[in-house]
């Protein structure tokens, strides 16, 4: 990937200037690019937000290359919120852990394996498959013990088990096919909800976008 570690673009909602709290940064997961988040950005724009999609090299760069640039970008931004899919949600929390003074009020994770990914651990055990995780491998396997930051964090998890994890015999069927539901239940989350979606499908799900918008506004999901 050429250019800086992080690159952004704004998705404008109409011509009026939105309130600062309506700004939302979107972070994609591993193996994806900015365009992957376009459907989610469109839905959030229609809900009244001003999305900004950020892209990074998730495999060849990984967290250690991308996090400093992400922190710098967030520090230079107006007060904002974040929606991160999979690895993107983990990147958001790690940025806030390292720089707790960032002007981020709320974070929504979409299917992020915050407690560490069993699928990533299985792949890391296969010499031929480890390169597909690249420099994000260790981070994906490790995850977090708990969330103790200032920003409110919510999780939208999927429960349609269609994905890479199904290739492994001991994978938890209570999952989105890639991430087990238990891996999304991190101590310290403000709220947690489940939608009918596979892991990849979360960024295309109208229900996931609706739940994300609700949490960004109110700090809780529609239960």
Domain assignment of residue 167, yes or no: yes
Domain assignment of residue 161, yes or no: yes
Q: How far, in Å, CA of 158 to CA of 127, rounded?
A: 29
| Structural domain harbouring 50 | 7-12+19-218
Domain assignment of residue 91, yes or no: yes
Domain assignment of residue 2, yes or no: no
Report the number of distinct structural domains present in the chain: 1
Domain assignment of residue 83, yes or no: yes
Indicate if the pLDDT at residue 45 is higher than 70.
yes
β-strand pairing of 7-10 with 50-55:
antiparallel
Q: How far, in Å, CA of 164 to CA of 161, rounded?
A: 9
Tell me the whole-structure pTM to 2 decimals: 0.85
Model confidence pLDDT, tens digit, residues 17-40: 333 458 999 999 887 777 889 999
Indicate if the pLDDT at residue 103 is higher than 60.
yes
Residue-level pLDDT at 7 = 44
Domain assignment of residue 59, yes or no: yes
Domain assignment of residue 223, yes or no: no
Residue-level pLDDT at 27 = 96
Residue-level pLDDT at 144 = 96
Domain assignment of residue 98, yes or no: yes
Model confidence pLDDT, tens digit, residues 107-117: 999 999 999 98
Q: What is the CATH number of the domain that holds 181?
A: 3.40.50.1820
Indicate if the pLDDT at residue 168 is higher than 70.
no
């Amino acid at each position: 990937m050429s250019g800086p570690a992080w690159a952004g673009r704004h998705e404008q909602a109409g011509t009026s200037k939105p309130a600062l709290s309506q700004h939302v940064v979107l972070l994609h997961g591993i193996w994806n690019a900015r365009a992957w988040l376009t459907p989610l950005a469109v839905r959030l724009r229609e809900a009244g937000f001003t999305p900004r999609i950020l892209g990074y090299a998730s495999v060849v760069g990984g967290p250690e290359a991308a996090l400093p640039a992400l922190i710098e970008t967030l520090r230079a931004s107006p007060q904002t919120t974040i929606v991160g899919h999979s690895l993107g949600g983990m990147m958001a929390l790690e940025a806030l852990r390292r720089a707790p003074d960032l002007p981020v009020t709320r974070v929504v994770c979409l299917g992020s394996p915050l407690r560490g990914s069993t699928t990533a651990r299985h792949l890391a055990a296969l010499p031929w498959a480890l390169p597909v995780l690249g420099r994000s491998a260790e981070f994906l396997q490790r995850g977090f013990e708990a969330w103790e930051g200032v920003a409110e964090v919510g999780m939208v998890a999927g429960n349609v088990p269609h994905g890479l994890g199904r290739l492994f015999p001991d994978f938890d069927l209570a999952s989105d096919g890639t991430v087990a539901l238990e891996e999304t239940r991190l101590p310290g989350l403000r709220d947690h909800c489940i939608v009918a979606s596979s892991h990849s499908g979360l960024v295309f799900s109208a229900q996931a976008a609706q739940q994300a918008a609700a949490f960004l506004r109110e700090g809780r999901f529609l239960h």
